[in-house]
Amino acid sequence: MTTKMKQRVNLLVMLLIGCAIGFAAGRFVCGGKFPGRFAPDGKGPLDFLSRKLSLTDDQREKVKVIFAAHRPEIEASHKEAFDRFETIRKGIHSEISEVLTAEQKQRFEELHKKMEERRKEHRGFGPPHWGPPPPPPEP
């Protein structure tokens, strides 16, 4: 494996570790639960802030208006970041495939497929999806 390829693999590993740390830190900060994504009506972060800051009804309405005013910026930012991340991720995937044996490529593709399925299950990285969070899983 060339030095350049090792650097790229290390970058991918560091990216994944960073995502895992960010996810864990987010869960810790939010008490084990995420407040939800930005819904069109602002209820995800609005409810979170209302609980944590004991917002009055008047403050709650003002914060709701603020979220609504910045929604287009948030959507554009999420889409741009997602598109950029996907381009980088696909490039890394392609480069890694080039250095693998046929057997390794097959295992790599199987692993990649499982990771994609898991990502979709957990509504992980993806373009912004507006609306209420999904219902909790049934027991």
Condensed to tens digits (0 to 9), the pLDDT of residues 66-99 reads 988 888 888 888 888 888 888 998 899 899 989 9
pLDDT for residue 28: 52
The more confident residue out of 123 and 1 is 1
Report pLDDT for 86: 86
Looking at residue 77, its amino acid is: S
- Contact, 47 vs 35, CB < 8 A? yes
Above 70 in pLDDT, residue 62?
yes
> Is the pLDDT reported for residue 55 higher than 80?
yes
Average pLDDT over residues 31-50: 61
What secondary structure, in 3-state letters, does 51-65 show? Answer: HHHCCCHHHHHHHHH
Is the Cβ–Cβ distance between 110 and 99 less than 8 Å?
Answer: no
Write out the two tokens for 57.
Answer: 């009804």
The pLDDT of residue 58 is 95
If one counts every other C-beta atom within 10 angstroms of the C-beta of residue 122, the result is 11
| pLDDT at 122 (0 to 100) | 67
User: How far does Cα 111 stand from its chain's mean position?
Assistant: 19
Q: What is the mean pLDDT of residues 36-52?
A: 68
The domain spans of the chain are 1-34, 35-121
- The HSE-up count of residue 132 (CA atoms within 13 Å, CB side) is 4
Beta-carbon contacts of residue 75 (< 8 Å; ≥ 6 apart): 128, 130
Please, what is the average pLDDT of the chain? 76
> In the numeric block, which tokens belong to residue 111?
């692993």
Lowest mean pLDDT among 20-29, 61-70, 87-96, 113-122: 20-29
Q: How far apart are CA 80 and CA 59, in angstroms?
A: 31
Query: Which amino acid is present at 125?
Result: F
